[in-house]
Structure formats: C-alpha cells, structure tokens
Amino acid sequence: MHPINRRQLGWNLGRALGVAALASAGLGARAQTGTPRILVGFPAGGSVDATARRLAETWRPRLGTVVVEQKVGAGGRIAVTTLRDAAPDGLTMLLSPSSMFTIYPHVFKRLQYQPATDAIAVSPVALSTCGFMVGPKVPESVRTLRQFADWAKAQPEPQGYASPAAGAMPHFLGNQFARAAGVALTHLPYRGAAPGLQDLMGGQVASGCFSVGDCLPHLPSGRVRVLGVTDARRSRFLPEVPTFEEQGFAGIQGVESYGLFLPARTPAAQVERLAEQAPAAVKDPAVIETLAKLGFEPIASGPDDYARQLAQERDRWAPVVAASGFSSDD
C-alpha cells in the first residue's frame, strides 16, 4: 500500500485560515435554519465520538450548538446510509474513518451506498497509523517482525493475530504481513479494539494489529510490545518503533484518515462553509490535545484533494483485499 500523501492532503493551512477569516459572519448554521449535527457510526466514548465532540465544542462560537448523533451498527455503514438519506442542506455531516469509502467497497458484496457518489468528501481532520504488536504469549526476546515470524513458524500450531473487526484495515495489514513473511497466521476478528487487546495482554492471542492510539494506554504495563508501524515514516507517538519497510516489508502501509462528509447534492456554498471550518479546527490547541491522546495526527485538505485521495486509496486497496480472499455477504 502507498502511504497517505501528506503533502497533497496538507492543503495550505495558512491560506485556508485566511479564507475562513475573510468569510462572512453568517457561516454554517447561523446562515441556515436548524441545528447542525455530526453523525458518528461508532459507540459513545470511542475515538471517532471523542473527535466529533471536540470538533462540535470548537465550532460552537461560530456555528452555535452542534449535536453529535450516534448511528451505530454494521461497522459504521449505518451512519453512512443515514448521511446518504439526509437533506442536502449542510446541517448533517458525517465524521468517519476512510475505510467506509476505500476498503468496504471491496469487502461487502451488497454495500448499501455508493462511496464515490452518495457522499461529498469535505476534509480529513486526523490520521491514524496502525501497529503490529505482540503480548506475553510471545517471548520477550522477540523484538522485530522477522523474529516474530520465525517464532510463529516454529510453533506446533498456527498462531493468531487479533484485529478490531473483519474487513477493517488492520485485518488486511495483518494478512499482508503473514503472506509477505511466509507464516501462517489465523485472523481473529473482535468487536472493537478493546476486547482484542484484552486477550492479547492476557496471553490468549499471540499478536494483533490495531491503531497506535488503541495500544498507547497499555504500553507502560509492558504487556504489549509494538514491533512495527504501517506508515511510510515512524509514528511520532512511537519514535523508537521502526516501520514495516525499515524491517524489509516494503509495500505494507496503511494510514486511516478520519474525515468529514456531506450528503450528495449539498450546494457548493455549504460544502465550502464546512471546508473552511476544518483547517481552523485542527489548529485549535484543544483539538490537537484531544487528537494526540487518541494517537491521531491533525490534518486538513480541500474537498477536491480529499476526494482524489480517497479514490486513489480505493483503487490501491482493491488488490490487497482480493489477495486476502475475504469478502462478506453481510
């Protein structure tokens, strides 16, 4: 996988902030009738929910009250279909991982929405890197991806790797690693990162692929060791952990963007109003602090750049998913 193009997505924040500063005081909800809402496809208290709530609070002085509304289920797909069916008035937006629009089209045989046409990509607000990690089931001497592969090959039975969900980005990154390393690893999907990490730390599972942010709170205990990260560069949260490419596994890269979306047919003026808010939000110290606690990096871009990036990612994930042999009728 090719990395997220930060230069392309890094839309000149100074210029964007200048545009926002020159915009009229009637931005967003104040120029409309109704209360803006951010749809979230994952449970309250999770990383997407926490990000949405911080954005809503940051936007309050300019947009008034912004409601965060959970539409949980189907791995985030219910929130996307809710956005699809919403009025294109600029009041309903979605905060979603990019996988809903880049990986899911290749996974689900009956996807309920068209990722390229049922939503307008406005801007990413955060990036999340994944890490391949091991727990106490694996000897302390195993400190690299190659050492883990050698250890797993020497075991009498295939070892497992946990992920937060079947069909999620970590699922396919772990599968890529297993194939590249020539080791049989059984995928063990969980309903979210928390239970998977609990089994990893409890020694029931040898390894796992999760976002860096999910594992950060558990690193001080020593019961989780991150062997490699899936970005083209090292994570600023784990600077001592080498990338997959640094360890000889070129091409295994995956960075999830978390972005803002509007319903298709939303007028261009409304899209631009929201696009003006994203760069300002990710420069806000409170947002930066929230994202850092989640292991996220702040980022913003314009709608055209983000749509182009998602299309490229969608094309790049197609052969990865196909090579895994996984699909779902769900």
The string of DSSP codes covering 173-221 is HHHHHHHHHT--EEEEE-SSHHHHHHHHHHTSSSEEEEEHHHHGGGGGG
Closest to 64 in 3D by CA, of 100, 37, 95: 37
Q: Which two tokens stand for residue 208?
A: 């796992």
Phi, psi angles (nearest 5°) of residue 314? -60, -45
> What per-residue confidence (pLDDT) applies to 4?
57
Residue with tokens 């104040």: 30
pLDDT mean by block of 10 residues, the chain; 330 residues:
51 38 36 84 91 95 93 94 97 97 96 96 97 98 98 97 96 98 96 94 98 95 96 96 97 96 96 92 95 96 97 97 94
Largest Cα span, the chain = 68
pTM summary value: 0.88
| In contact, 324 and 35? CB cutoff 8 Å | no
Q: Which two tokens stand for residue 115?
A: 């990722």
Helix, strand, coil % over all residues of the chain, rounded to 5: 45, 20, 35
pLDDT by residue (tens digit) across 44-80? 888 999 999 999 999 999 889 999 999 999 999 999 9
